[in-house]
Amino acid sequence: MTIDESIHEISPFFQVKQTKWGGRACFSNANIPKGTTVLQVSNSTGTSISYEFRKEVCHNCFAYANARTMKYRLNYESVKYLIRDPHCQINPKKFLGAGLWFCSDHCKTSYLQIPNIIELIECYEILLHHFPNMLKRYNITSEQEKKLNSIPISESIIQSVWDEIENDWIPRINNMKTTKKINQLPPISEDEYSCIRFVCESLFKLKYMNPQCVTYHAFNMLQSNELSKITRFPVLLNFQKLVFQTLYIMLPSHLRKMLSIPLLRHILGTEYGNAFGLWQEGEASESREFFGYWVFPEASYFNHSCNPNVTKYRKGNSMLFNVNKDIKKDEQICIDYSGVLDLPTTKRRKFLADSWFFDCACERCMSEL
């Protein structure tokens, strides 16, 4: 894919360029002194907080208070004034709080001020109502999982699974009455639940994003790692299918209009390899908690180096990218993907190959080999 003009606006400090060796990279526009922030991004296109942390992490600022449950939840009183759509499926008597927890009243209020946020809250709420029943029916044995993980994978096998959904499953579902459709919700686990929420948020964000903005272009241009990832973990193909089927049945029409098979495959295929880990704030350390992951398209064009010149860190709901040594004009700007720079060369390179599907050829690796 060629580089879209608009992503040159990602940062005044660097440009994304197509490289001679294939792939894309960020090159500095001028000499940049140590300590400069070359990029700050907030507002991810999608966030996934893992199921075990769902009550312990603030859904607005991602604060974490040592495994204590966050104090503030949504109640019907706090969302009812946002409901404008007469078909909204939020039930006043059975409102469950949409699975959203907050550290403070301020964070809860800020979250509710996101334009049209009620549409996303509605999706989370519907999912939360169906989830216990879907989870109860989920009983994949290790034998079945082994079987799912031993399917041979190729581009055409992936395509045939989606063709079947498109040509057979969707028309069947479309012909059903609402109550019967609900019975078709597949059994899912906590992992699918978190992923479905991630896709809901991505669809919602894309729906209201200006198609001319940098984030939108950067998102569309992200490289998909679908084939590499599913080849490595064939079970993911079934996982994605369950995510799609659940969303197709459950989403209210305002977001279902957004859901297409190519878009779902792009959201999930680009997440593998482009998402940043969502970590507890503070210095990298053994005790730091890993909550989940989030996607910032503008920050996804940095390549990896085992001797990076930019350090990334989280500040609230933003990610900052700071220069850690003076950078010369036209030098490539790189970050560390791995978080395991202390590992010996071969182990570190294996970790990178397994997780990000490339053989690191950075200067440090080359000199150490």
Binding stretches for Zn ion (CB under 5 A): 58, 60-61, 63, 103, 107, 306, 360, 362, 365
Q: What is the DSSP letter of 168?
A: I
Q: Could you give phi then psi for residue 72, rounded to 5 degrees? A: -105, 125
Q: Which residues contact 329 (CB under 8 A, 6 or more apart)?
A: 28, 29, 30, 31
Radius of gyration (C-alpha) of the chain in whole angstroms? 22
Nearest to Zn ion of 38, 306 (CB atom): 306
Question: In the bound complex, what is the minimum distance in angstroms from residue 64's beta carbon to Zn ion?
Answer: 10
**What does the alpha-carbon distance between residue 125 and residue 122 come to, in Å, rounded to a whole number?**
5
**What does the alpha-carbon distance between residue 266 and residue 219 come to, in Å, rounded to a whole number?**
9
- Residue whose entry in the numeric block shows the structure tokens 């580089």: 3
**What does the alpha-carbon distance between residue 309 and residue 77 come to, in Å, rounded to a whole number?**
49
Q: Are 341 and 362 in contact (CB under 8 A)?
A: no
- Residue whose entry in the numeric block shows the structure tokens 């860190």: 313
Nearest to 323 by CA among 53, 24, 36, 125: 36
Nearest to Zn ion of 39, 70 (CB atom): 70
Question: In the bound complex, what is the minimum distance in angstroms from residue 108's beta carbon to Zn ion?
Answer: 8
Q: Could you give phi then psi for residue 181, rounded to 5 degrees? A: -60, -45
Nearest to Zn ion of 63, 158 (CB atom): 63
Question: In the bound complex, what is the minimum distance in angstroms from residue 201's beta carbon to Zn ion?
Answer: 17
Nearest to Zn ion of 103, 299 (CB atom): 103
Nearest to Zn ion of 257, 347 (CB atom): 347
Q: Which residues contact 22 (CB under 8 A, 6 or more apart)?
A: none
Question: In the bound complex, what is the minimum distance in angstroms from residue 8's beta carbon to Zn ion?
Answer: 27
Question: In the bound complex, what is the minimum distance in angstroms from residue 306's beta carbon to Zn ion?
Answer: 3
Nearest to Zn ion of 237, 365 (CB atom): 365
Question: In the bound complex, what is the minimum distance in angstroms from residue 71's beta carbon to Zn ion?
Answer: 10
Nearest to Zn ion of 158, 360 (CB atom): 360
Nearest to 165 by CA among 233, 254, 229, 259: 259
Question: In the bound complex, what is the minimum distance in angstroms from residue 124's beta carbon to Zn ion?
Answer: 17
Nearest to 14 by CA among 296, 358, 309: 309
